[in-house]
């Protein structure tokens, strides 16, 4: 048997254990550890509350250079936006976060800042997240940033206060898990499908209590933005964090970004991988070549299935809410709304693939609303420079400014009542995109194919047509 990975400095170590040990300040008898926090990222939905609470208690931000804030959750995504929002009282979140960030001396990416965007999109874009760092934010999808080899996870507002005031957090040390995707993905299958296949097979609670490292030939073949999609969904697996060991692609992606180091020549960077012989508490292996495009059928990401299959038997409440009986074919299910966006699938590579499929085509007349919301202002500008916005608008999609938008319903903008949506987002809970809205999550390619057909459709078929 291979020697057991150990936090005592002996034996081969996992990447998680290396990051944990370099950041551990103290370990209590209960197994909880006090760890150093390198970066804190806030957003306007909870940022002002955390900063104002600290100010009221007389606690300054310990190191303002390590704390960032952005307007992304409640901000309006309609072109020409300002502080106004469709959400009642939403403007106060924006103005109060702006004032609190200024008072605390932290870096703010404001509503119309050229670097504004969704937290987990702009942090990698700017090189704020780096391999081996610890990064926290009051947002469950902070794990997205583990794609760069960081230990990144979501926290609550009170924890954000503690991290900003002390530069530390006390957390329970998670168990370790490695999910290995062997082989290569078939054409038309994406990182989103990898994540949904994992969650469907092992449950939405399958990663609970674990820090999950994604590995294997199929993961190594993904570009950095696709790796972000995979790590983004780790929270839907109930993992504390999801991450991928940095490699040449990672350092090439980060080179020249504003907050990244001038170079990665220091030998330290090359140590950030799991040692040969290191062991994990849990191991899962999935044959990537066996995967197909996935789509959710119910009210949890674990209610996902290959797109060309039939709805399985599941919880009665999920069937009632989504209005699909067991045995129903997913292909051909009529949809009302198509949405491309979110921290899961709204980066430039996502929009390029989506635009390539929809170019020269039209959204079906039966679709009530079709939207594309770029993940950041930088993504929006780059997409427009390539003419992607024109492709989308000519097809019948609405082109928006960046933000979280209708990934979740905040009480303002909404889809038509009772709509069935096909969405590139990460959650299909009851009411996630609005009261009574029935959400099917899938890849951007599946969203496009379905928007064109007016029913849930296989993107591989549309790709075949494009190739002819």
Kindly write down the DSSP assignment for every residue of 271-285, as one continuous string: G-SPPTT---SEEEE
Residues in Cβ contact with 225 at an 8 Å cutoff, skipping those fewer than 6 apart: 347, 348, 349, 350
Helices and strands in the chain: count of H runs, count of E runs:
15, 19
Given this model, what pLDDT does residue 30 score?
67
Residues in Cβ contact with 411 at an 8 Å cutoff, skipping those fewer than 6 apart: 87, 88, 90
What is the mean pLDDT, run by run of 10 residues, along the chain of 468 residues? 45 97 82 93 94 96 98 95 92 96 98 98 98 98 98 97 97 97 98 98 98 98 98 98 98 98 94 98 98 98 98 98 98 98 98 98 98 98 98 98 93 88 97 96 98 98 86
Report the C-alpha gap between 143 and 140 in whole angstroms. Answer: 7
Report the C-alpha gap between 42 and 285 in whole angstroms. Answer: 35
Given this model, what pLDDT does residue 9 score?
58
- Confirm if 240 and 152 have CB atoms less than 8 A apart: no
Report the C-alpha gap between 127 and 378 in whole angstroms. Answer: 14
Report the C-alpha gap between 126 and 362 in whole angstroms. Answer: 35
Tally of CA atoms within 13 A in the half-sphere of 323 that contains its CB = 11
Please name the residue ranges forming H helices in 167-306.
Answer: 191-202, 217-221, 224-232, 248-254
- Confirm if 103 and 8 have CB atoms less than 8 A apart: no
**Sign of CA pseudo-dihedral 86, 88, 93, 99:** positive
Q: Could you write out the DSSP letters of every residue in 368-436?
A: SEEEE--SBHHHHHHHHHTTHHHHHHHHTPEE--SS-GGGS--SSS-PPTT-EEEESSS---TTTTSTT
The neighbouring-strand residues paired with 284 are 179
Given this model, what pLDDT does residue 4 score?
38
């Amino acid at each position: 048997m291979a020697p057991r990975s150990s936090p005592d400095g002996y034996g081969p170590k996992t990447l998680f254990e290396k990051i944990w040990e370099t950041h551990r300040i103290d370990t209590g008898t209960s197994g909880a550890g006090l760890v150093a926090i390198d970066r804190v990222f806030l957003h306007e939905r909870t940022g002002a509350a955390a900063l104002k609470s600290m100010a009221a208690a007389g606690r300054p931000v310990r190191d303002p250079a390590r704390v960032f804030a952005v307007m992304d959750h409640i901000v309006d995504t309609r072109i020409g936006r300002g502080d106004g929002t469709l959400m009642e009282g939403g403007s106060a979140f924006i103005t109060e976060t702006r004032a609190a960030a200024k008072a605390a001396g932290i870096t703010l990416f404001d509503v119309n800042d050229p670097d504004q965007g969704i937290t987990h999109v702009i942090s990698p874009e700017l090189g704020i997240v780096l391999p081996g760092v610890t990064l926290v934010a009051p947002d469950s999808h902070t794990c997205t940033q583990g794609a760069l080899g960081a230990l990144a996870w979501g926290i609550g507002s009170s924890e954000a206060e503690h991290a900003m005031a002390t530069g530390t957090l006390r957390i329970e040390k998670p168990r370790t898990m490695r999910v290995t995707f062997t082989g290569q993905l078939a054409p038309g299958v994406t990182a989103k499908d990898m994540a949904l296949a994992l969650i469907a097979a092992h449950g939405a609670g399958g990663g609970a209590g674990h820090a999950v490292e994604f590995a294997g030939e199929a993961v190594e073949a993904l570009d950095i933005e696709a790796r972000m999609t995979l790590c983004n969904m780790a929270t839907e697996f109930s993992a504390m964090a999801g991450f991928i060991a940095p490699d040449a692609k990672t350092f090439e992606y980060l080179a020249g970004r504003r907050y990244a180091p001038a170079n990665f020549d220091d030998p330290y960077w090359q140590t950030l991988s799991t040692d040969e012989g290191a062991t994990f508490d849990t191991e899962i292996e999935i044959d990537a070549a066996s995967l197909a495009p996935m789509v959710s059928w119910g009210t949890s990401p674990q209610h996902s299935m290959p797109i060309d299959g039939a709805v399985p038997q599941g919880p009665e409440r999920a069937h009632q809410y989504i209005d699909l009986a067991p045995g129903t074919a997913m292909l051909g299910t009529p949809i009302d709304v198509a949405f491309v966006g979110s921290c899961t699938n709204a980066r430039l590579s996502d929009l390029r693939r989506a635009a390539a499929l929809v170019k020269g085509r039209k959204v079906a007349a039966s679709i009530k609303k079709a939207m594309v919301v770029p993940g950041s202002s930088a993504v929006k500008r780059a997409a427009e420079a390539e003419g992607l916005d024109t492709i989308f608008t000519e097809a019948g999609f609405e082109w928006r400014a960046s933000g979280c938008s209708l990934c979740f319903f905040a009480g303002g903008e909404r889809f038509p009542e009772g709509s069935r949506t096909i969405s590139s987002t990460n959650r299909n809970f009851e009411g996630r995109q609005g009261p009574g809205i029935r959400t099917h999550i899938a890849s951007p390619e599946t969203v496009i194919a379905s928007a064109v057909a007016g029913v849930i459709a296989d993107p591989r078929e549309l790709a075949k047509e494009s190739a002819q």
